[in-house]
Amino acid sequence: MMNSSSSQVQKQDGKNLPSALKKVKELLQGKTPAVFLDYDGCLTHIVKDPDKAILTDGMRNTLQQLAAECPVAVVSGRDRANVEQLVQLNNLYYAGSHGFDISGPNNMHTEPGGAAAAIPALDKAQADLNERLNKIDGALVERKRYAIAVHYRNVAEEQVSEVLEATQDVLSKYKELKPGPGKKIMELKPNLDWHKGKAVHWLLEELNLKKSDIIPLYIGDDLTDEDAFAALQGKGVSILVGEHDEETAADYRLESVEEVQEFLIELTQYLKE
């Protein structure tokens, strides 16, 4: 399986990617899609308070209609239970904690990747981070089941380096953990060879979707989605929403959450026809 470090992965500047809008027929090549979507920055706008990234009724309706036509999964860094609660649709699959915790229809619930072993280290690191960062205005230590996200979006610019240094220092104490960069976030994750790309392949295998008439389609906006883009190169379609600070392995782009919804509606209409 490819991963983001593979020498075969082609990367380019996200700004130069062609738009995916009005290209549904071309992208699908006559196949049925299996659709994978990030949550924050893809289905909802990025907001200062993660708890306020609420899915609109319109987007929920769009997802529900698409899931009636093809398999749909939300693949998020958020806790699986949290993203499931935000989306509130029982005909979707949910891969939380970057794919360490997966649920879906017919009582599917599994935790591939072996992350449970890292929980004691996460507990200790969380206590250390709270102690180190509680005096820095705007710094937020968000504990998830299988990760800790240190948010610095609301930290004064001159104090960002202090947040990052403290986080790196805490991280260096625990060999069970590794860093995971994101947009204005530094994550501490289980030091295991598992990520969104592997979660997508696991779901494709588990749901018997690795077939010649099915094409995986992944839409995401973050650096963590690059693992999925890389894993699907030559095997599916990947779409970057907006842009991030690095080169991307995606094939196409959409400018915004609004364009994501427009694309998903287009996709649904095509499948219904």
How does pLDDT run along the chain (273 residues), one tens digit per residue? 334 344 478 888 888 899 999 999 999 999 999 999 999 999 999 988 888 999 999 999 999 999 999 999 999 999 999 999 999 999 999 999 999 999 999 999 999 888 889 999 999 999 999 999 999 999 999 998 899 999 999 999 999 999 999 999 999 999 999 998 788 899 999 999 999 999 999 999 999 999 999 999 999 999 999 999 999 999 999 999 998 878 999 999 999 999 999 999 999 999 998
Return the pLDDT at 42: 97
Q: Which amino acid is at 73?
A: A
Strands (DSSP E) found in 18-176: 32-37, 72-75, 93-96, 101-104, 108-110, 140-143, 148-151
> Looking at the annotation, which residues are catalytic?
38
Count, in order, helices (H) and strands (E) of the chain.
Answer: 8, 12
Q: Which of 194, 267, 268 is nearest to 27 (CA)?
A: 267
Return the pLDDT at 2: 37
Judged on CB neighbours under 10 Å (0-12, 13-18, 19+), 63 is buried
Can you tell me whether residue 145 is helix, strand or coil?
A: coil
Q: Which residue matches tokens 């509680």?
A: 134
Q: Which residue matches tokens 């001159």?
A: 158
Q: Which long-range contacts (CB under 8 A, 24 or more apart) does 132-139 make?
A: 132/166, 132/169, 132/170, 133/163, 133/166, 133/167, 136/162, 136/163, 139/163
